[in-house]
Amino acid sequence: MQHFVTDLGKELAGCFSDKLWCDTLPRVAQHEPAIWHGMVAVASLDLEMRKRSEAPPTDVAIMHYSRALQALQVRLEDHRSPPKDVVSLACVVFAMFEFKQDHHQSALRHISGGLKILTEWLRGGLRGNSSSGTYLDRAKLQGVFLCLDAQAIHFGVKDFREFFSGPALDDHVKLTDFSSFEDAHMFFNQIFHRASHWINWLDPVTALGTRPSDEWMASEKETLKTQLAAWDTAFDRLGATVTAPYHLLLATRKIIEIVFAWSDDPSDPLGWDKYLPEFKEALFHAEAFLSLTVESPKGDPGRPTLTVAMDIVMPLFLIATRCRDTVVRHKALKLLQTCNRTEGIWNAAQCAIVVEQIIKMEEAAALEHDGHVPAEARMICADVDCVADKAAIVEIRVRDEKDELHTMGLPLLLV
């Protein structure tokens, strides 16, 4: 438990406050066996992985993980309604145990369970106070699941469309004049989550869930642009700083800006080429963020840093797959290969394998077109179907000579 509080909890928080992981969660664990055993299981596995980066779970880690699952089951079978935050928190801790082993499918099942519980809690109007028997305000948990849900949407995991097809958890974001990067991050997560659903629905073919009407899509885009403009104004008041949170937020913000601009004419296969300056700016902030953060946990160059938040891997993945400038995309690929980060479901090394294969196939076509990737050779990574924990079928969409889209399956070992 001490290792979780003093080391792992700080790692999970990334470059923002670690209060939830290093203070709130340990306090809840004192009263909830499911949380306590889950934290010990994750910490035990992490300690073993510091010795060997590919270490399997030890008997101690497996024992505590089993006890955590059993304790949660007992809690659920209690005649009294168990606190919603305990169940949701347990699902997050269990997902962390699976994330550390690259068990994506198992982790997603835990996330989907926690998300369903939290959604019920939000719809029921319950708040974290003594009368409801909960340990923390729902807004804190909502922030964690906003990140996890957005990750699953952008990852496009085919088998889990039913779990992640609902609307944003909070459709009434009231942006205020925040005064810290911590607040800026909290508000941005809410907007980004909502934007993630909208981005997912841009393409009717690959969308997770039922796509809303064109009228709703247009209205939602304007709402998001208004919210982002308000966020930009408040963020600008904080001033430019040479800090990891500053560069992280701007890298992701720039990616949303690019996607919004591209969405005005998504049928143009060469449309992404218009935004090379914006891609370069996003890459600049991504590189600056990584230069200001520890690339791997202390004393272990092999084990990837694990965070819950979707930080920099997704922006780098989009830069490398959407920008066809050779220098920019190869630099993004290099950062994915070397940053040694796992951000929830997004594993940088595994994303790099997918990106590298796409680049090789596109550049082979570019050799016959004066170094430019032609429209018919451009690939869109539509889905990553995790058929096994270390293997996937990556669905790639390509155009034929009649400008019609076709889907091909690209089997890859993500090791």
CA distance 227 to 409: 38
Q: Which two tokens stand for residue 352?
A: 């790099």
Cα separation values, 167 from 186, 209, 344, Å: 18, 10, 21
Q: Which H helix or E strand runs over 409? A: strand 405-413
How deeply is 131 buried, as exposed, middle or buried, from its count of CB atoms within 10 A (0-12, 13-18, 19+)?
exposed
Chain centroid, CA 290 distance in Å: 17
CA distance 295 to 95: 22
Q: Are strands 405-413 and 391-399 parallel, antiparallel or unpaired?
A: antiparallel
Chain centroid, CA 324 distance in Å: 24
Q: Which two tokens stand for residue 244?
A: 């990891």
Sign of CA dihedral 336, 342, 345, 350: positive
pLDDT the model gives residue 335: 95
CA distance 262 to 255: 11
pLDDT the model gives residue 128: 41
| The residue type at 148 | L
Could you state, in order of their start, the residue ranges of all structural domains in the chain? Answer: 1-156
Which ranges in 263-347 belong to alpha helices (H)?
Answer: 276-291, 313-322, 326-338
**Contact 389/104 with Cβ under 8 angstroms?**
yes
Between helix 33-51 and helix 59-77 the angle, nearest 10°, is 160
The residues facing 408 across adjacent strands are 396
The residues facing 412 across adjacent strands are 392
pLDDT the model gives residue 362: 87
- pLDDT of the chain along its 415 residues, tens only? 888 988 888 888 888 888 888 888 999 899 899 999 999 999 998 888 877 655 566 788 999 999 999 998 888 887 666 677 888 889 989 988 988 887 877 888 888 888 887 777 766 654 443 334 567 766 677 778 777 776 666 554 444 434 333 344 444 445 667 788 888 888 888 888 788 778 877 765 556 567 788 898 899 999 889 889 989 988 998 888 889 999 999 999 999 999 889 888 877 778 899 999 999 999 999 999 999 885 544 445 456 788 877 789 989 999 998 999 999 999 999 999 999 888 877 888 888 988 898 888 888 888 887 778 877 777 766 555 554 555 555 656 665 555 555 555 655 555 5
**Contact 371/396 with Cβ under 8 angstroms?**
no
Of 61, 30, 32, 35, whose CA–CA distance to 48 is shortest?
61
Q: Which two tokens stand for residue 314?
A: 């997704």
Please tell me whether residue 62 adopts helix, strand or coil conformation.
Answer: helix
pLDDT the model gives residue 158: 42
pLDDT the model gives residue 351: 86
Of 187, 42, 34, whose CA–CA distance to 113 is shortest?
34
Helix-strand-coil split of the chain, %, nearest 5:
60, 10, 30
The CB-side HSE value for 64 (13 A sphere, CA atoms) comes to 21
pTM: 0.82
Q: For the stretch 99-126, what's the b/e string if a residue is b when 16 or more beta carbons lie within 10 angstroms of its beta carbon?
A: bbbbbbeebbbbbbbbbebbbebbeeeb
Q: Sheet of 391-399: strands edge to edge?
A: 380-388, 391-399, 405-413
Q: Are strands 341-343 and 305-307 parallel, antiparallel or unpaired?
A: parallel
